[in-house]
Structure 1
Amino acid sequence: MLMPVSTQRGRFIVALVGALLISVVAGCATLDRNAHADSLAGPAGLKRELINTDSFVLTAFSRISRTGAPLDLYIEGDGLAWISRNEPSQDPTPSEALGLALAATDPAPNVVYLARPCQFAPMVMNPRCGVPYWTGKRFAPEVVASMNEAVSQFAARVPGQRVNLVGYSGGGALAVLIAARRADVASIRTVAGNLDDEFVNRLHDVSSMPQSENAIDFASRVAAIPQIHFSGADDTVVPPSVAQRFVNAAGVRCARALTVPDLAHNSDWSVRWPGLQAIVPTCSPTPPGQ
């Protein structure tokens, strides 16, 4: 039996409106994450830009106002890597951008925030982007190389100045992996940093990441850099024992682990960050004869 044309048209319009609503909702989900980032960055004078590297186009927010001063560079965490324990996200852009929230509180004249590959970035400009780069390959050598290339581009804007690296969660691992490749790093600070992914993955009974580098394996290469690794006392995702394991591997002359009361992994660390940032990483004097 044939359906009247008017009925067909009505059903078509309903279906079209439904499809458009789904598209709008999906678009808003992405827009909201970008809008949230802009709302954090704007008041701090951090301007969004795209950074071309060999492997990825990375998104950054930066404020360079005095070329004769050091550079504070923040690295984001893993973002929305997983929807559930077994289902990866299709877009790792963070909902809260906790690394950006830290950067936004930093009063230094030169502050840069680097998102991770495929976060906040137009996928059409990143044909390499895919689930592996925010799951098993999130610390892969090509990821580290891309992030390090971006650091070099920003370091070139403050010629001869030192770089202070700050990493949140998985960004803490990248801060270490990048520092191990550079000679201009003045300090490392990590916040809830995943500094031993093999240990953390065993702790949560999830798959290992053989295609990724593990920060703790590079501890000896950053042992002479002043560093502080902050952990939340209530963090069950990356517990304080992870930071202590890294300090044990790096040695206590320049590395220090500090546990912050009443904070969990996804707490608003930015509220406490001004006070924590004021704790300056230092190296103790080398004992005589060494």
Structure 2
Amino acid sequence: MLRARGLLTGLFSLLLAGCAAAPNQLELTRQAQTVAQAGGLVMAQVPTERFVLTGFYRITRPDLPLTVYIEGDGFAWRTRSQPSSNPTPINAQGLKLAAADPAPNVLYLARPCQFTPMAVNPRCEVSYWTGKRFAEDVVVTMNQAINQYTARVPGQPIHLVGYSGGATIAALLAARRGDVISLRTVAGNLDVDEVNRLHRVTPMPGSLNAIDIAPRLIDLPQIHYTGSDDSVVPPVIAQRFAAATGGHCTQVRVVPTMRHDSDWARAWPALSNEPPRCMKRADDER
């Protein structure tokens, strides 16, 4: 039974990764640098108490808000039953979104153990890209990393954007920070338990679930973009999260013909320019 459950969990993660074999980390990092450079983003290693994260950033107007992008779950499983040895994403959709954003201040953060060499991350364990990918210490790590860059735009608020599993992290961060003025998600896994139930995979007791804190975001301007053809995280997940917030500031935008792994970056300059409901345009300096 345990093996069967592992097979199902691996299958779902492979769907999220979109591929069953990965290039080596060095090659993936080079590809990421190419994407980032096209968007004027500079690579950095971001030390936190538990992990060293990889980030890409562009800060040209310290007097304006900072937009923070959180990457998806990456390459979690190599086969249906075998976790990968490195979760670095094959197709870094979150990074592509950040590179497509014309805002003056942009920060992209990879998730723990993605891109950063394992040699400088001795606490990286397989659990952090499988069952504990949304654990409390992961959220704390991401929060610490963001703090290092908000210090470069003193007194300015932040916009949070999360892709796929990065949407869970973004929502959890929004619930515990006081400087977030908007939340946007793309193909976001905002109800981990329900997505696992839909795909008949095992629960993740070591992880937090964004929908549990949704009521705390009742007054936060937010848009959740979901693809009409997304069979991995279908539109009903964003709709469940929006209902759980209980607020009129939450919008769900179903984008026609888009799948989970579609080219969201191509559409992103137009989508990201849409102001969330309840947000004053003057506050959304993009």
Give me the TM-score of the superposition, normalised by structure 2. 0.88
Alignment gaps of 5+ in structure 1: 1-25, 286-290
Structure 1 residue 279: deviation in Å?
A: 1.2
1:32 corresponding residue in structure 2: 27
Instruction: Tell me if 1:201 matches 2:196.
Output: yes
> Post-superposition shift, 1:28?
6.0
Query: Aligned runs of 1:88-237 on 2, under 5 Å?
Result: 88-237=83-232
3-state SS in 2 of match to 1:180: helix
> What is the CA deviation profile of residues 203-243 of structure 1, one whole-angstrom value per residue up to 9, with x for unaligned ones?
11111011100000010112211000010011000000000
Change (3 A) 1:249 1:30: same
Structure 1 residue ranges, 4+ long, deviating more than 4 angstroms after superposition: none
Q: Which amino acid aligns with 1:229?
A: H
Residue 80 in 1 paired to residue 75 in 2?
Answer: yes
**C-alpha offsets along residues 140-180 of structure 1, whole Å, 9 cap, x if unaligned?**
00000000111111111100101000000000000000111
Q: How many residues align?
A: 260
- Write the distance in 1 (CA, Å) between the matches of 2:94 and 2:171: 15
Are 2:182 and 2:276, in contact at CA under 8 Å, matched by a contact in 1?
Answer: yes
Q: Which residue of 2 aligns with 1:240?
A: 235
Q: 1:65 aligns with which of 39, 60, 67?
A: 60
In structure 1, what is the Cα distance between the partners aligned to 2:22 and 2:93? 22
Displacement, 1:84?
Answer: 3.0
Which sections of structure 2, spanning at least 5 residues, go unmatched? 1-20, 281-286
The corresponding residue for 1:3 is none
Higher RCO structure (Cα 8 Å, ≥6 apart):
2
RMSD, aligned CA: 1.6
Which residue, 254, 263, 271 being the options, matches 1:259?
Answer: 254
Equivalent in the alignment of 1:52: 47
2:276 maps to which residue?
281
Kindly indicate whether the alpha-carbon contact (under 8 Å) linking 2:22 and 2:90 is maintained by their aligned counterparts in 1: no
Amino acid at match of 2:54: T
Q: What is the CA-CA distance between 1:87 and the residue it aligns to?
A: 2.0
TM-score by length of 1: 0.87
- Cα deviation for residue 268 of structure 1 reads 1.0
Displacement of 1:124: 1.1
Letter in 1 for 2:168: A
Deviations 1:72-120 (A, max 9, x none): 1100000101123322111100011000000001111100100000000
CA contact (8 A) 1:36 1:96 kept: no
Contact 2:135 2:208 in 1 (8 A): yes
State the match for 1:14 in structure 2: none
Instruction: State the Cα distance separating 1:29 from its structure 2 match.
Output: 2.1
Residue identity opposite 1:151 in structure 2? I
Q: 1:28 to 1:168 in 2, by over 3 A?
A: closer
Q: Greater Rg, structure 1 or structure 2? A: 1
Residues 32, 248 of structure 1: CA spacing in aligned structure 2 closer, same or farther, 3 A cutoff?
same
